[in-house]
Amino acid sequence: MAPSARVGIAGTSAGNIRSVVNALNRLGIRAEVSNDPAVLTKATHIILPGVGEARTAMEALDRSGVSQWLREARVPFLGICLGMQLLFERSMERDTSGLGIVSGTVRRFETGTLKVPHMGWNTVAPVQPSLLLDGIAPEAFFYFVHSYYAPVTAETLARSDYGIAFASVVQRDNFYGVQFHPEKSGTAGLQLLRNFIERC
């Protein structure tokens, strides 16, 4: 693992922060949680974890000034779950404007007889080569918990299916997002976090 890596975790009231910090600790990675752009600027990598509701999370990022700082960040960035959804232009969850980095609108699952939220293990199928998924088997299982999904677009690196195909990994420039929780996804999840730090 890169000894010089210093991960900044952008904390919101909706963040699943402790699990992410613990996973990084298992990889020997130092992480600092902060809502202060001056602190996050010192990081070599940024992670935005999230569980909860889009509007509440965006309002927290706006109040702290982190949202505007993130839009201009040039270091590798990883959004997890809600953190990925906030990369998009808009979420239908309380009609929330996102960071606008990735094109498209996040929508609620309409899956007929399938339960919402989509909760549990599901496969992730690569659709484009990506260093983020290096060393991870095609159709590997990851752990999901979400009621809203992102569309499959040109910025999609991998997709999953739950009544409808949705983007489970996205990238635009230095911004990456994963719909699942790598910190709760065992060996494959740790490999993805390792790839983000070492390869992205």
Active-site residue, 59 included = no
Which one of the listed residues 93, 146, 183, 200 is annotated catalytic? 183
Q: In angstroms, how far is the first alpha carbon of the chain from the final one?
A: 13
Residue in the block written with tokens 């202060």 = 36
- Among 3.40.50.10490, 3.30.70.890, 3.40.50.2000, 3.40.50.880, name the CATH number for the domain at 6-199: 3.40.50.880
Tens-binned pLDDT, residue by residue, of the chain (200 aa): 555 789 999 976 555 799 999 999 999 998 999 999 999 999 999 999 988 899 999 999 999 999 999 999 999 999 999 999 999 999 999 999 999 999 999 999 998 899 999 999 999 999 999 999 999 999 999 999 999 999 999 999 999 999 999 999 999 999 999 999 999 999 999 999 999 999 99
| Other beta carbons less than 10 A from residue 95's beta carbon | 9
Please, are residues 21 and 31 in contact by the beta-carbon 8 Å criterion? yes
Q: Please tell me the predicted confidence (pLDDT) of residue 195.
A: 98
Tokens of 132: 């983020």
Distance CA 182, CA 143 (A): 7
Give the 3-state secondary structure of residue 133.
helix
Which one of the listed residues 45, 81, 155, 200 is annotated catalytic? 81
Which one of the listed residues 45, 118, 146, 181 is annotated catalytic? 181
Active-site residue, 183 included = yes
The DSSP bridge partners found for residue 176 are 78, 171
The DSSP bridge partners found for residue 156 are 170
Please, are residues 49 and 16 in contact by the beta-carbon 8 Å criterion? yes
Please, are residues 78 and 196 in contact by the beta-carbon 8 Å criterion? yes
Active-site residue, 110 included = no
Q: Please tell me the predicted confidence (pLDDT) of residue 112.
A: 85
